[in-house]
Amino acid sequence: MILINLLPHREAARKRRREVFYISVAVSAIAGALIAGGVYLGYATRIATQQQRNTTLQVAIKKLEAEIKDIATLQQEIAGLKARQQAVEDLQADRNMPVHLLNELARQVPDGIFLTSVRQDGQRVTLGGVAQSNERVSEFLRNLSHNSPWLTQPELIEIVASSMDVSPRDRRRVANFNIRVRILRASEAQKPAAPASTPAKS
């Protein structure tokens, strides 16, 4: 006996293939969504962790900036204290400047020179006087330049020839001069200055 299948087997097979395809597509979509969700959660976790680190770093940076400002303020205060200390030391040293100045002038002025004015402006001293000759002025400049531990950088401002009455019948030619010189503070003076100036004080 011959059996004949009259059912539409091809359409049933196609239906089964479609169902398998839809199921596989659904499974793939679910798997893809799960993988994408996992990747997203992983990156989100990393981003959150990095943001926490950034926040911690920003807090630490703000603390460091505040400390740096405090250090800068302290440095300014230290610089101000040093400047005031130096000013006090300079004032204490400057109290003896007139003594050193007069002492050195008494030692360095050669014979034949008479000082008529001494004017001090800070560490600059202007000397005015009368000399018997230009050579006496040159000698005075050499003494100030090489022989004085407290006076330095002598500079001849002007020298003018003139006449001076020594007596009613005696009129001599003289040289009026102005010299500018710098007086050193105690901190600037050379070490040999102390023993050199000791004999003049005694």
In angstroms, the CA 151 to CA 70 distance is: 44
Mean pLDDT of 21-30: 90
Domain-embedded: residue 86: yes
Question: ∠ CA(175), CA(184), CA(190), 5° rounding?
Answer: 115
In angstroms, the CA 80 to CA 82 distance is: 5
**The pLDDT of residue 146:** 86
User: What does the DSSP assignment read for 19-65?
Assistant: HHHHHHHHHHHHHHHHHHHHHHHHHHHHHHHHHHHHHHHHHHHHHHH
Mean pLDDT of 135-164: 87
Q: Same domain, yes or no, for 108 and 85?
A: no
167 DSSP β-pair partners: 170
In angstroms, the CA 32 to CA 23 distance is: 14
Domain-embedded: residue 2: no
Mean pLDDT of 104-108: 86
**The pLDDT of residue 1:** 60
Q: What is the percent of the chain with per-residue pLDDT over 90, rounded to a whole number?
A: 23
By DSSP bridging, strand 151-167 and strand 124-131 are unpaired
Query: Domain range for residue 180?
Result: 96-201
118 DSSP β-pair partners: 127
Q: Same domain, yes or no, for 85 and 35?
A: yes
pLDDT band at 200 (very low <50, low <70, confident <90, very high): very low
Q: Same domain, yes or no, for 53 and 89?
A: yes
**The pLDDT of residue 199:** 45
Q: Same domain, yes or no, for 83 and 132?
A: no
In angstroms, the CA 82 to CA 155 distance is: 33
Average pLDDT of every residue of the chain: 82
In angstroms, the CA 191 to CA 80 distance is: 29
Count how many domains the chain has: 2
Q: Same domain, yes or no, for 86 and 148?
A: no
CATH at 121: 3.30.1360.100
> Is 154:104 a contact under the CB 8 Å cutoff?
no
Domain-embedded: residue 31: yes
Domain-embedded: residue 52: yes
State pTM to two decimals: 0.48
**The pLDDT of residue 9:** 66
**The pLDDT of residue 5:** 57
Whether the predicted pLDDT of 186 surpasses 80: no
Choose the final residue of a domain: 95, 128, 158: 95
Q: Same domain, yes or no, for 22 and 62?
A: yes
Helix ranges restricted to H, the chain: 9-94, 97-108, 134-142, 193-201
φ and ψ at residue 64, rounded to 5 degrees = -65, -40
